[in-house]
Structures are given as C-alpha cells and as structure tokens.
Amino acid sequence: MTTLTLEMPEDVFAAMRRSPEEFAREMRLAAAIFWYARGDVSQEEGARIAGLDRTDFILALAQEKVDVIHVDVEELKKEWTRE
C-alpha cells in the first residue's frame, strides 16, 4: 500500500474535533464517496479507498444519500428494445 502525506494546519483538527487519524479516515471515505458518485470508481474500488468492506461502503453511500446503483436511461432503453 502506498502512503500519502498531507500537510494540514493544526487548527483544522481542533475545529473539526477530530484526531488526525479520524480526520484521515473521514477524508478517505469522503473521497471514495465523491469518486463513486462521479462514476470514477466502482463500489469495490470505493470500499478499498475508504478502508471498508463493500457492505459498509454501500451503507455509507446510503447514509450520504448517494445512489447505490447507477442506471443509465439510454442503456436501459437499449436493453428494453432488444427483447
């Protein structure tokens, strides 16, 4: 696993009432949710980025009101017309 180092002002942790470790966990989850919502990563990749199993990642998506299943209307129309 690659380690990423970020420099953050000390007062950020106090303002958010988070330890650096909690802040890092929340940043990983926020990034994973953001990238999943944009379609940049799959659920499995998002879960790995967030440090969660897939079930917990799906629950986190639901908690943040992010669609768990992406449906492309045009693709769905194509599927319906094939039958």
Identify the helix (H) or strand (E) that includes residue 43: helix 43-50
**Count of structural domains, the chain:** 1
Residue 29 lies in a domain: yes
| pLDDT for residue 27 | 94
Give the confidence band of 83 by pLDDT, cuts at 50, 70, 90: low
Q: What angle do CA 34, 36, 39 make, to 5 degrees?
A: 115
Q: Is the pLDDT of residue 16 over 90?
A: no
| pLDDT for residue 13 | 85
User: pLDDT by residue (tens digit) across 19-69?
Assistant: 999 999 999 999 999 999 999 999 999 999 999 999 999 999 999 999 888
Residue 4 lies in a domain: no
- Whether the model pTM is above 0.85: no
Return d(Cα 6, Cα 78) in angstroms, integer: 45
Residue 1 lies in a domain: no
Residue 70 lies in a domain: yes
